[in-house]
Amino acid sequence: MADIKDTKSARAKVNKALTYAVMFFFTFMAIYPLFWLLMNSFKTTTEFQLNKLGFPQHWTLINYKDAWVRGKFPHLILNSMVYTGVTTVVTLGLSFMAGFGFAKIPHKATKILHGSFIIGLLLTLQSIMVPLFLLINWTGLYNTRLGVLIPYIGIAMPMGIYLGTDYIKSIPNALIESARLDGATYFRIFRSIIVPMALPVGVTLAILTVTGTWNEFMLINILTSSDALKSLPVGVQKFAGALSSDFGKQFAALVIGLIPMLAFYLGFRKEITKGVAAGAVKG
């Protein structure tokens, strides 16, 4: 009896150790490349040629200094924050509004309008780049911040409507009906019932929009010409994408490129992990 118990607990221990090993393996896989990048950004290119895997033997900040000065990163980061922040806030607001309309106010246009947003989920941005450029040119918004923001918001709309409508549908009709009976207007209901109740999906949507907008690097090149309006990924691509012989500076530029999102993630870790999940709960 004692024997069996011993083997059982021994096996449990082995299992536990194995499970830990597997988890550590995946964690290691997830962060090693980033760690590798960080280490190499402190090496000179010459050292990198000889020592690709180890710690730097002579730590240097020269790569960062060069990349920072040449890449004009400060204003790119600022621009990225503006585009991402405004796009996210506006997308959230519009998606909630339209989502409320679609989900809770019966109307015969809903089917076709809502359906057209869902098709938008499947569209690739690359196929509409040139028509968009023409459009922005006609409207005189070329090379302005607004001319970047409006397309960004439009592109984020389908996901917003998809998640927003779906979530708002799950808010009990009874709540809305009783408010209506009390004489509340739809706007009032929107403000006092829908917005507070839809906040969880708002977080999800915010995260998806933030990462999507922050990452965008192609459309903005088409829609603006002035360097003062471009965003961080454009700078990273311009600086590091072309620079394949000077690894040190390339790595430093990449680290600079990932720091803002990393800080955002670590700061809002809990909200983000909860948010991503909430959004995908419903089919």
How many CB atoms neighbour CB 90 within 10 A? 18
1 token code pair:
């009896």
Taking CB under 8 A as the criterion, which residues in 11-50 touch another protein? 16, 19-20, 22-23, 26-27, 29-31, 33-34, 36-37, 45-46, 49
Is position 181 an interface residue for another protein (rule: CB under 8 A)? no
Q: Which helix (H) or strand (E) holds 175?
A: helix 173-181
Is position 129 an interface residue for another protein (rule: CB under 8 A)? yes
How many CB atoms neighbour CB 143 within 10 A? 15
Q: How far apart, in whole angstroms, are the C-alpha atoms of residue 217 and residue 133?
A: 15
* Half-sphere exposure of residue 267: CA atoms within 13 angstroms, side-chain side: 7
Stretch that binds another protein, among 3-11, 171-179, 209-217 (CB under 8 A): 209-217
Taking CB under 8 A as the criterion, which residues in 236-265 touch another protein? 236-247, 249-251, 254, 257-258, 261-262, 264-265
Q: Are 121 and 155 in contact (CB under 8 A)?
A: no
Is position 58 an interface residue for another protein (rule: CB under 8 A)? no
Which residue, 196, 195, 192, is CA-closest to 182? 192
Q: Of the two residues 7 and 269, which places its CB atom closer to another protein in the complex?
A: 269
- Of the candidates 60, 68, 86, 179, which one interacts with another protein according to CB under 8 A? 86
Distances (CA, A) of 257 to 62, 206, 207, 253, 261: 17, 20, 18, 6, 8
Is position 147 an interface residue for another protein (rule: CB under 8 A)? no
- Minimal distance, residue 164 CB to another protein, in Å: 9
- Of the candidates 8, 11, 13, 70, which one interacts with another protein according to CB under 8 A? 70
What is the 3-state composition of the chain as percent helix, strand, coil, each rounded to the nearest 5? 80, 0, 20
Is position 61 an interface residue for another protein (rule: CB under 8 A)? no
- Minimal distance, residue 168 CB to another protein, in Å: 11
- Minimal distance, residue 123 CB to another protein, in Å: 6
